[in-house]
Amino acid sequence: MLERLWNGWRSSYISSLGSDADEPGQGSVFTRILESGLPDDQTNIVHRGRNCFAILNAYPYGTGHLLVLPYREVANLDDLDGAETAELWATVTDAVGAVTAAYSPDGVNVGLNLGRAAGGSVSEHLHVHVVPRWIGDGNFMTAIANTRTLPEPLDDTAAKLRVAWP
């Protein structure tokens, strides 16, 4: 029998974001971070390439949860040009290598949520999730206390991943 573990907090989070399209000229949260002029150690950007970059998820599913995305704000894979496509997947490969070297997880989830209906909370700016996973990492805290436990601050995670970046 299939059991379901509901993440009710997720719906509230997604609904609270609203659509960046409601704020003309503002751009996605990622575009706003890039245009902020803040240094990478304050924005938790782990890697910058020519067309793409990697940043820590501000609301991670677990320690080391990275997002890899193009600088250019596009919603769909077919909106990417050839250089962006090639670099996006090469950067995803490097991100998997970095989280593996830094955290020695039992596995890694890699995926995209294209469109709001698919769970894309920032659907106007395509991003690939790279999430290190450990056997037993889905623990009781999320289920009974509506809480995720993260053992280290994001800036410490970013520093470890920068050092481990291939």
Q: Which domain holds residue 130?
A: 26-164
Q: Roughly how many angstroms between the first and final C-alpha of the chain, as a whole number?
A: 42
Closest C-alpha among 68, 53, 148 to residue 108:
68
- Please write the tens of the pLDDT for every residue from 69-94: 999 999 999 999 999 999 999 999 99
Catalytically annotated residues = 127
Top pLDDT among 133 and 16 is at 133
For residue 16, is it within any domain? no
**CA 46 → CA 21, 49, 92, 115, 145, distances in Å?**
27, 10, 12, 25, 31
Provide the whole-model pTM: 0.79
Contact present, 30 and 145 (Cβ < 8 Å): no
* pLDDT surpassing 80 at residue 147: no
The burial class, CB within 10 Å (0-12 / 13-18 / 19+), for 55 is buried
For residue 6, is it within any domain? no
**pLDDT score for 19:** 46
For residue 21, is it within any domain? no
Percent pLDDT > 90 in the chain is 60
For residue 151, is it within any domain? yes
* pLDDT surpassing 70 at residue 149: no
For residue 71, is it within any domain? yes
CATH number (domain holding residue 52): 3.30.428.10
For residue 85, is it within any domain? yes
**pLDDT score for 118:** 77
For residue 15, is it within any domain? no
- Please write the tens of the pLDDT for every residue from 20-65: 444 545 899 999 999 999 999 999 999 999 999 999 998 888 899 9
One-character DSSP codes across 57-69: -SS-SSTT-EEEE
Please state the domain count of the chain.
Answer: 1
Mean pLDDT of 8-12: 54
For residue 92, is it within any domain? yes
